Amino acid sequence: MSNYLEVILQITEFNRDLKIERLQLGAEEVWFVCYDSVVNSQETIEFIWKSGITPAVSYDEICTRLAGKAWSTKNMNELQQGRVVLLSADGEQAFSFQGKPASLSRAMDKPENESMPFAPAIAFMEPLTTNIGLIRKSMNSPYLMAEGFTFTGAATKEATLVYHSELVNTQLLDQVKSHLQKAANRDLQTGQDLMEILGSSHFDLLSPFYKTEIPMQAISSMMKGRVILLIDGEPVAYVLPLLFGDFISIQWDRQLPLLIMFALRYLRLMSLLISLLTPGLYVALVSVNPETLRIELALSVASSRIGIPLPTFLEMAFLLIVSEISIESTQRLPKSIAASITVIGGIVLGTAIVDAKLVSSLVIIVLSVSVTATFAFPNYLNTLNIRITRAAIVVLSGIFGVFGLFAGFITICFYVCRIEHFGIPFMSFFDFKKLKQT
């Protein structure tokens, strides 16, 4: 193996933020090496001087005082995790220790994608330790456990599994830990990577987790026996596993009287059915099974379609595509521009399409009700699955009518009832505390 100093000097050409500085520590002259972008070098050097360095100190004593460990060029990735390397003057010896981190994080902020009235205005942040601290401060329990995992693929990624040792479902915990331990040598950069690590198929419509950026929501799930996965660099918590109740309930509901809480949850459940079935039902009744309509309603529908060149199925398909494009186009725009696009797409464009006799006004009404109902759910990401299945039901309804509508809905029911993540059924409505020993 070549001299450590020579190896490091070779890679400085490709890493402009790699800092190499000569330091005189007592009787020893050493080389100070770190990434200036992730380590505050000035504070770290001050920390070294305050660790009890004397004029007669030796290189080995410096290593002991700084709680260092032996280092080699095989551990080069440690530098990117905030560690500092001290090399002997000849470059033949090296040890590393934890440096003082540079300030890379933003200030605490309120949630951007989730809203809970009168809830603490604090959201998860990118640093892993900060997110663990938010949970510990909010929960304050001696039974709170945080187990660390490292994924060493193309880039090293740190993750922490957080759970309540007294309330956690042991079967769930064992399976999740097993999946994470087996994937130690894999990449963890995207949600798809995490789904693969947790044993899900590429073709699964529902992921085994849901994301939340609100610590209170994550803690609520943990108190019901679930586990939380925090990943360094991501301002969200992954709650495992995803359950049907996550589509219609949130922790904030419990701030209200019991009857109002149930009323809100039944309203969201009704919104799910309206969002999923209304467009397909309209297409089925108007284009395939008009004989099922009352004569008054049939005449009203017929009069609204006078002069419309497109069949009902193509009307609905066209407007569904336009609405999805409008929703997607506003997700990554600045809020001021997104509001303008929404007005243009929702009001101006809708009115112009009806006036141009391309679609009937009834289709606009049905689709508006369906799209509005889609966003009655607590978590925006959960609406993506509903929007996809809604399009599939519209296609089946346009081909087979009411039979296709019910066939599609029953198929979806069978599909979600057979989903099971980590031994917990997706449609489980039980408290995990009751399932803990099962």
Closest to 86 in 3D by CA, of 76, 78, 96, 98: 96
| Other Cβ atoms within 10 Å of 436 Cβ, number | 15
pLDDT confidence of 248, banded at 50, 70, 90?
Answer: confident
Residue 355 has a pLDDT of: 73
pLDDT digits (tens, 9 = 90+) for 368-377: 889 888 888 7
Locate 223 and state its tokens.
Answer: 């108190």
Residue 99 has a pLDDT of: 87
Checking if the pLDDT of 409 tops 90, the result is yes
**Strand 227-231 versus strand 420-421 pairing type:** unpaired
Closest to 419 in 3D by CA, of 244, 248, 269, 194: 244
pLDDT confidence of 115, banded at 50, 70, 90?
Answer: low
Checking if the pLDDT of 434 tops 50, the result is no
pTM metric for this prediction: 0.75
Question: Do residues 397 and 284 touch, judged by C-beta distance below 8 A?
Answer: yes
Checking if the pLDDT of 433 tops 50, the result is no
Checking if the pLDDT of 113 tops 80, the result is no
pLDDT confidence of 292, banded at 50, 70, 90?
Answer: confident
Residue 224 has a pLDDT of: 86
Give the C-alpha separation, 404 to 399, whole Å: 7
Residue 397 has a pLDDT of: 92
pLDDT digits (tens, 9 = 90+) for 26-72: 777 888 888 887 888 888 888 888 887 777 778 888 888 888 888 88
The residues facing 18 across adjacent strands are 35
* DSSP characters over 352-409: HHHHTTSS-HHHHHHHHHHHHHHTTSS-GGGHHHHHHHHHHHHHHHHHHTHHHHHHHH
Mean pLDDT of 293-306: 80
Mean per-residue pLDDT of the chain: 82
Checking if the pLDDT of 273 tops 80, the result is yes
pLDDT digits (tens, 9 = 90+) for 118-169: 666 677 887 788 888 888 878 877 788 888 888 887 778 888 898 998 888 8
Closest to 241 in 3D by CA, of 252, 225, 253: 225
- Rounded to a whole number, what is the distance in angstroms from the first to the last CA of the chain? 55
Residue 408 has a pLDDT of: 92
pLDDT digits (tens, 9 = 90+) for 339-393: 666 666 666 677 777 777 778 888 888 888 898 888 887 777 677 888 889 999 9
pLDDT digits (tens, 9 = 90+) for 233-244: 888 899 988 888
